[in-house]
Copies of this chain bind each other. A is one copy, B any other.
Amino acid sequence: MKYTILFGFLSAVIFTSTAFSQIQTDVVEYKHDKAVLEGYISYDKAIKGPRPGVLVVHEWYGVNDYVKKRAEQLAQLGYVAFVVDMYGKGIRPTTPQECGIQAGKYRNDRPLMRARVKAALDELKKNKMVDPERIAAIGYCFGGAVVLELARSGAEIAGVVSFHGGLDTPTPDDAKNIKGKVLVCHGGDDPHITMAAVSAFHDEMSNAKVDYQVIIYGGAVHSFTNPDAGNDPSKGAAYSPSADKRSWEGMKQFFGEIFK
């Protein structure tokens, strides 16, 4: 009985707290060298003062509603979320072939990949809502590989989270530059990122004494966080409600630790 009252009490308080939030999402145009980029910034207007910032890097589709929704979810958690545009304003590929071409440009040119995401980091650090000492980056698929490269570049960042992202790099020795913590959320049955890749990533991180974690979700395949990926794991990419929920909770726990 005592507990029922307590839980009712807590629920009421949490409900009230949620009711305060006023999520706003604005388009942001910014630049990297001569490239014009267009992302979003999402934040809770009800929060005053500097708070942690989170870069969100898209899948190989580029900036879309999915990644924008993730930014809004992060804003609901109290962070300033910045949707990175890796490809450039208006470059929004629609077919797998076009996606492959765009993503390939950066996969095959890691210095460009690093510099492009660094431009977004610099943009976010300038934002007055953001505490520049408490910034993280998360990424999905292609974006997962991007945030790991950002870490390997030695960027001043508290942590990165990859969701079903590529783990390989042409310069594994750069892991020694990593300044923050690393969390990899991996689908155990992802046909594109095998257990051999997980093992190689472990070697890379372990050799460089990085503070990293890898969580393997059994049965999950590529794209497990994205409802648009469908529900047939035999295709190699599919949404997994349980792995989506677990990995989001894992990220929240990770942020709780790095944003202390």
Instruction: Mark A residues whose CB is within 8 Å of B.
Output: 2-3, 6, 9-10, 13, 16-17, 20, 47, 182, 188-189, 195-196, 198-199, 202-203, 205-206, 209-219, 242, 246, 249-250, 253, 257
CB neighbours (8 Å) of A215 from chain B are 213-216
Of the residues B2, B10, B189, B205, contact of A10 by C-beta under 8 Å: B10
| Distance of A218 Cα from B211 Cα, bound (Å) | 6
| This chain: copies in complex | 2
Contact A253/B249 with A13-B6, A210-B218 known, Cβ cut-off 8 Å: yes
* 13 A-B residue pairs with CB within 8 Å: A6-B17, A10-B13, A182-B218, A188-B206, A188-B212, A202-B216, A205-B218, A211-B242, A213-B215, A213-B218, A214-B214, A246-B257, A250-B253
Q: Which of A20, A202, A212, A218 has the most CB of B within 10 A?
A: A218
Which residue from B206, B211, B219 sits with its C-beta under 8 Å from A209?
A: B219
Assess whether B219 is in contact with A211, with CB atoms less than 8 Å apart.
yes
- Report the Cα distance A246→B253, complex, angstroms: 8
Tell me if A9 and B13 are in contact (CB < 8 A). Answer: yes
Which residue of chain B has its CB nearest to the CB of A184? Answer: B216
Task: Decide: B199 and A199 in contact? CB cutoff 8 A.
Answer: yes
Nearest CB of B to A213, in Å: 6
The residues of B that contact A242 with a CB separation of less than 8 Å are 211
| Residues B246 and A213 in contact, CB atoms below 8 Å apart | yes
Give A203's nearest chain B residue, CB to CB.
Answer: B195
> How far, in angstroms, from A195 to B203 measured CA to CA in the complex?
9
Bound form: Cα–Cα A215–B186 in Å: 10
- Cβ A219 vs Cβ B206 within 8 A: yes
